[in-house]
Amino acid sequence: MHALDLFGRPDGAQPVGTVVSLHRSSGGVPKFAITSARVTAAGMEGDRQRNLRHHGGPDRALCLYSADLIDALRAEGHPVAPGTLGENVLVRGVPWDGLGPGVRLRLGEVEIELTAFAHPCRNIAGSFRVGAIERVSVKRHPGWSRVYARVLRPGLLAQGDVVVVL
């Protein structure tokens, strides 16, 4: 059992970032921005995936990405924008290269565990110069991949919520 600090956080659990935007769609990309959503073990309410073999399900309930990396990709000349990579949650200020399967995060009141890196597919090719989807491949460019997560504690998630690495 962890000791709790004055804010009810386990020792060492400090805010590191912010939820910049949330996205969902009725299937496919881009996912469209919303200001808040209920998140359950099944994922973000109102979000659907066309290909359930590779997307969705309890171990891929949410897809997360970094706004800091989107800024860097845009600086490289890629036409990527929030929601075009199929991410549900876009965060800023989180040390992305330190994230991977097994890491737990709290996003506002929602608690998640990262389960896997999201392999790029041709559906996100429009976000990259000459369709270079491998730019977000964990194999080719470690630290640049999107990540999937399972929901450990459901709740309401909103733009501006604090991100805590647990």
Q: Are 145 and 91 in contact (CB under 8 A)?
A: no
pLDDT in tens, 114-124: 999 999 999 99
| pLDDT surpasses 60 at 8 | no
Percent of the chain whose predicted confidence (pLDDT) is above 70: 87
What is the structure's pLDDT at 55?
A: 56
Instruction: Please classify residue 83 by burial: count the beta carbons closer than 10 Å to its beta carbon, then call 0-12 exposed, 13-18 middle and 19+ buried.
Output: buried
CA distance 96 to 6: 27
| pLDDT surpasses 80 at 11 | no
pLDDT in tens, 146-164: 999 999 999 999 999 999 9
The reported pTM is: 0.89
What is the structure's pLDDT at 12?
A: 59
What is the structure's pLDDT at 28?
A: 84
CA distance 61 to 54: 11
| pLDDT surpasses 80 at 2 | no
| pLDDT surpasses 90 at 140 | yes
Distances from the Cα of 158 to the Cα of 7, 35, 82, 85, 90, angstroms: 20, 6, 15, 19, 11
Higher-pLDDT residue of 5 and 79 is: 79
Task: State the CATH architecture for 15-165.
Answer: Beta Barrel (2.40)
Question: Domain segments of the chain: what residues?
Answer: 15-165
Q: Which of 52-56, 67-71, 80-84 has the lowest mean pLDDT?
A: 52-56
